[in-house]
């Protein structure tokens, strides 16, 4: 469990740079909302994050429904979301938060690995999957990565996704509105783990233009996050399959 903080290495990242917001005092801090029905987990995370110079906990919620409401009111940068909770489960809460605030990144916390739960969380818009036996430092690393637009997956989760991709057939075909050649270049680089800045440098375009391409790609493919776009790139053989560290 998270309160024991035993080691688990987080791996697999697809990156983009995050943006800072808030007043001068908050500009160096990542605003985090913790959503978990176990008070001891919330308290342990808050105590640890209070020791970090770049992370501040702006709120805590005990279930998914409360988490959605608090995300709407507090506008956090990153949400740490448990999956199994009363009133509203984590997957449903992830989808609702991303629908209202697509710029908010969500890291899933769970004590189990089930393919349907993993894929459901990622498809709902989660940008990371952390097991609850992770060290506190690794959870903080996942928060920082999510804020930077990176995807951090536990190695076992990465391995599960790789196996799933290898076992899938050719995929679901092209989107209704085909990707342009430049958009295919962008999603290929996104799937390889490049940030918007690095994509821009590789294609000799500005970071803002790269960000616009990514947004257009998500719209064409009907995807909710860069995570899904990276997985789409792998499934359609535009990038190498995810490998565990």
What is the pLDDT at residue 175?
Answer: 59
Judged against a pLDDT cut of 60, whether residue 138 lies above it is answered with yes
What is the pLDDT at residue 224?
Answer: 67
Structure tokens at 9: 């290495």
Structure confidence by residue, pLDDT tens digits, 6-38: 333 333 334 333 333 444 355 579 999 999 999
What is the pLDDT at residue 4?
Answer: 43
Q: What's the angle, vertex CA 58, arms to CA 145 and CA 229, rounded to 5?
A: 30
DSSP string of 83-144, one letter each residue:
SS-SSS-HHHHHHHHHHH-TTSEEEEEES---HHHHHHHHHHT--EEEETTS-HHHHHHHHH
Q: What is the mean pLDDT of residues 133-140?
A: 87
Structure confidence by residue, pLDDT tens digits, 141-180: 889 988 887 777 777 777 666 666 555 544 455 555 788 8
What is the pLDDT at residue 117?
Answer: 79
């Amino acid at each position: 469990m998270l309160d024991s903080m035993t080691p688990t290495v987080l791996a697999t990242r697809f990156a983009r740079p995050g943006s800072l917001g808030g007043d001068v005092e908050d500009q160096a801090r990542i605003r985090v909302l913790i959503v978990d029905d176990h008070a001891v987990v919330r308290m342990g995370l808050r105590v640890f994050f209070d020791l970090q110079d770049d992370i501040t906990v702006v709120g805590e919620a005990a279930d998914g429904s409360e988490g959605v409401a608090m995300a709407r009111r507090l506008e956090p940068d990153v949400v740490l979301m448990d999956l199994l909770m009363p009133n509203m489960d984590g997957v449903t809460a992830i989808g609702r938060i991303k629908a209202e605030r697509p710029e908010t990144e969500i890291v899933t916390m769970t004590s189990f690995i089930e393919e349907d739960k993993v894929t459901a969380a990622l498809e709902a818009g989660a940008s990371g999957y952390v097991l609850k036996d992770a060290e506190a430092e690794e959870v903080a690393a996942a928060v920082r990565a999510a804020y930077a637009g990176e995807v951090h997956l536990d190695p076992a989760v990465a391995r599960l996704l790789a196996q799933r991709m290898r076992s899938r057939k050719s995929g679901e075909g092209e989107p209704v509105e085909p990707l342009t050649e430049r958009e295919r270049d962008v999603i290929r680089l996104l799937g390889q783990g490049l940030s918007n800045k690095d994509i821009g440098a590789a294609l000799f375009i500005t970071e803002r233009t790269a960000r616009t391409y990514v947004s257009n790609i998500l719209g064409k493919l009907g995807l909710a996050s860069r995570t899904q776009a990276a997985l789409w790139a792998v499934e359609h053989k535009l990038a190498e399959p995810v490998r565990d560290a």
